[in-house]
Structure 1
Amino acid sequence: MANTRDIQLDALRAIAVTMVMYSHFFAAGGSSFWGHIGVRLFFVLSGFLITRVLLEARAAAEFQTGPALRSFYIRRALRIFPPYFAVLGFVWLFDLEQSRGSLIWQALYLSNFWYALHNDWTPWVLCHFWSLSIEEQFYLAWPLIVLLVPRRRFEPVCIAVILLSLAYRFYWPITATPALARDLLPPASMDALASGALLACWRSRGAALPQWMRLGWPALAAAFLMIEWFVPAPADPTLEWARWLLLQVLPLVPLMVIVTACSSGLGGILGKLAELPPLLGLGRISYGVYLYHPILLSLAVKSQPWIPLNVSEQGPGRLLVASAATIVVASISWLIFERPLNRLKRHFPYVARAQAARAGHAGWFAGAPGRLPDGRRTPSLDLQRTDARR
């Protein structure tokens, strides 16, 4: 059974994927505002959870780099690949929205480069794969950093990645007309992923958020909303770049604060709301919802003659029909496809349980971390549970 912090992180996943569906199914003119925030929240969550579980593995008494890396990649493959390639197989079989020409890029998790090189969202039915490609590129490199960089240098590495990602954005005024590449190349998202990793680093050493973050996040959130809602995109490229830069950077700290609060466990009314069963259920299947929602939208639009509601345009009809279809398909996928495969991850622990048992670390089996004579922690079963839910 998951602990409170992981339950409430499921609620954040549900909120993030709801933002994406709202943006793609309902928002007037296909506004990307809510979808953008939802994806950025997913990135902060991913950076936090992946880094936390790897740092906990590294702190275990029986930790070995090679087996931990092998387990990480196998567990990620079991969770991510089956539904992902099932979608690609379906799209290839029916050539949905003439997508076959890009499938090799999608299969190699280079979707973000495909759309950046073409500077166009064609095929639109797979355009959401850009963010999944970013995450997979992150998964390939980041575990090596977490497990191999000296612990005292890991926090500076996280900060350096965030600063380099922010600096990357200053390249675009030189290139004149903005292109999709400024949003889709990996450096554009590394600040959010590394911000989540920085949270995990602070959590691992028992540090709280800096005071300026705790006190300043409402002002940053308010500034972001004011610019998004009340400052129209200017025609001047330099001013447009400045507005875009602020909209990318301002939400980072508020998102970090939200993830920190839910990972610690919100109390009171907010805590009860964050643990509502429908919200948790949606969070549990959020990966499938994100994967399938444009596919179901495409099929719904093709089925418009048999659907009494208007699904051909953004609006309530599309939101109701496409969201319901997506949630049904994602639920079925989770129950009969994803969850059984996910259970196989128990065969690939980050730290060998047999070794821990022979060493007599009773805390391992109780699911509670303890301390060895040399000060190193014994691993908690929560280390496995946390990753199993992703």
Structure 2
Amino acid sequence: MAKARDIQLDALRAVAVTLVLYAHFLAPNGTSFLGHLGVRLFFVLSGFLITRLLLDARDTNAFASGSALRSFYARRVIRIFPPYFAVLGLVWLTDLEQARSSLAWHALYLSNFWYALRNDWNPWLLCHFWSLSIEEQFYLAWPLIVLLAPRKRIEAITIGVICFSLAYRFYWPIAADPALARDLLPPASMDALACGALLAVRRARGADVPRWMRPCWPALAAFFLLVVWSDPGPASSTWEWPRWLLVQVLPLVPLTAIVAACSTGLGGWLGRLAEQRPLLSLGRISYGVYLYHPILLAYAVKAQPWIPLNVSEQGPGRFLVAGTATIIVASLSWAFFEKPLNGLKRYFPYVARPVASGDAKWTSRTAAALELPRTEARQ
């Protein structure tokens, strides 16, 4: 049976992907901050879960960095690649929205660089791949740090990554260039990923979130909402850049605090709410929902003449039709495609089992490291 902490992290995935669907299907006037917030929540979750998993493997007696790295990359390929490249294959076969010319960039997980270099969101139906590219770039580099760097230096490195990412943000007001690169290049998302990683590192040494974070995160969340709902003013206004910085930075503490709370298991009515079956089911298929939703929207728009509701514009019709189609396809994908492939992960344990069952090095913690948490299985 999965631990309560892992169940509630699935619920957070459901919240994150719902925010994205709202922003892309329903939000009026192109309002996108909730979608942005959902992606940032995904990043904090990924940073936390991946770092926790790698540290658990590293802290076992039977740990070997080479085999752990190989297993990590193999498991990521098994979990992420099949549905991702199935989508790319479909887009290539149909040249949906004339997206075929950019597929090489997406296939190499360089979508964020494609859109940043062009400073344009075309092809629009693959624009959400920028965040998947960020995650893959993180997966490529971060395990090398967690598994190979001196154990006592990992926390300092994580804090350094956060500081570097924040410094990157402060560069853009100086450059006065609102290009897409400010949001799409890897440093723009490393703060959220590293905040999750820092939480995992602190937990591994028996600590929790800093004491100052607990009382102040609701105030920061409220301030964030006030900033988002404020009038941005003209493009050249003095408020534009401070507002952008605050929208990027303010959610970090609240999102980290929320992940910290759910990773230990919320009690009371909030805990019961976070463990409702519909929420957990949506969290289980959240990768597929995120991956497929613009593709299904593109097909829905093409089928508009046969659909009685308006799916060509943001609104309830689009949310109902495209949202329902997305959940159905993601559910089928999970049940018949992704979940069976996930079974192959058992051939790639992070820590190899000893030949002799009575090996003195075989400890309960080693055994625990070999058991994949349910929440990681669905990443």
Interval containing the TM-score (normalised by the shorter chain)? over 0.9
| % identity of equivalent residues | 71
Cα distance in 2, alignment partners of residues 192 and 327 from structure 1: 27
Counterpart in the other structure of 1:372: none
Counterpart in the other structure of 1:8: 8
Counterpart in the other structure of 1:19: 19
The answer on whether the counterparts of 1:7 and 1:280 sit within 8 Å (CA) in structure 2 is yes
Say if 1:189 and 1:290 are closer, same or farther in 2 by CA, change over 3 A: same
Say if 1:389 and 1:354 are closer, same or farther in 2 by CA, change over 3 A: farther
Counterpart in the other structure of 2:297: 297
Q: CA deviation at 1:353?
A: 2.0
Q: CA deviation at 1:209?
A: 1.3
SS in 2 for 1:312: coil
Q: CA deviation at 1:357?
A: 3.2
Deviations 1:68-89 (Å, cap 9, x if unpaired)? 0000000000000000000000
Cα distance in 1, alignment partners of residues 367 and 101 from structure 2: 46
Counterpart in the other structure of 1:385: 373
Q: CA deviation at 1:338?
A: 0.3
Say if 1:285 and 1:169 are closer, same or farther in 2 by CA, change over 3 A: same
Cα distance in 1, alignment partners of residues 219 and 175 from structure 2: 31
* Structure 2: unaligned runs, 5 residues or longer: none
Counterpart in the other structure of 1:130: 130
Q: CA deviation at 1:241?
A: 1.4
Deviating above 6 A after TM superposition, structure 1's stretches of 4 or more consecutive aligned residues are none
Cα distance in 1, alignment partners of residues 181 and 361 from structure 2: 50
Deviations 1:7-45 (Å, cap 9, x if unpaired)? 000000000000000000000122111100000000000
Q: CA deviation at 1:296?
A: 0.5
Cα distance in 1, alignment partners of residues 352 and 314 from structure 2: 51
Cα distance in 1, alignment partners of residues 177 and 152 from structure 2: 41
The answer on whether the counterparts of 1:62 and 1:355 sit within 8 Å (CA) in structure 2 is no
Counterpart in the other structure of 1:285: 285
Say if 1:182 and 1:383 are closer, same or farther in 2 by CA, change over 3 A: farther
SS in 2 for 1:380: helix
Counterpart in the other structure of 2:273: 273
What amino acid does structure 2 have at the position aligned with 1:148?
Answer: L
Deviates more, 1:39-48 or 1:205-214: 205-214
Aligned CA-pair RMSD:
1.4
Cα distance in 1, alignment partners of residues 169 and 341 from structure 2: 39
What amino acid does structure 2 have at the position aligned with 1:298?
Answer: A
Deviates more, 1:227-236 or 1:183-192: 227-236
Say if 1:357 and 1:244 are closer, same or farther in 2 by CA, change over 3 A: farther
1:101 aligns with 2:101: yes
What amino acid does structure 1 have at the position aligned with 2:228?
Answer: E
Cα distance in 2, alignment partners of residues 228 and 165 from structure 1: 21
* Structure 1: unaligned runs, 5 residues or longer: 370-377
What amino acid does structure 2 have at the position aligned with 1:389?
Answer: R
Say if 1:354 and 1:385 are closer, same or farther in 2 by CA, change over 3 A: farther
Cα distance in 2, alignment partners of residues 355 and 175 from structure 1: 59
Q: CA deviation at 1:235?
A: 3.0
Counterpart in the other structure of 2:354: 354
Corresponding pairs, count? 378
Could you state the TM-score of these two structures normalised by the residue count of structure 2? 0.97
Q: CA deviation at 1:232?
A: 2.5
Say if 1:362 and 1:63 are closer, same or farther in 2 by CA, change over 3 A: closer
The answer on whether the counterparts of 1:62 and 1:356 sit within 8 Å (CA) in structure 2 is no
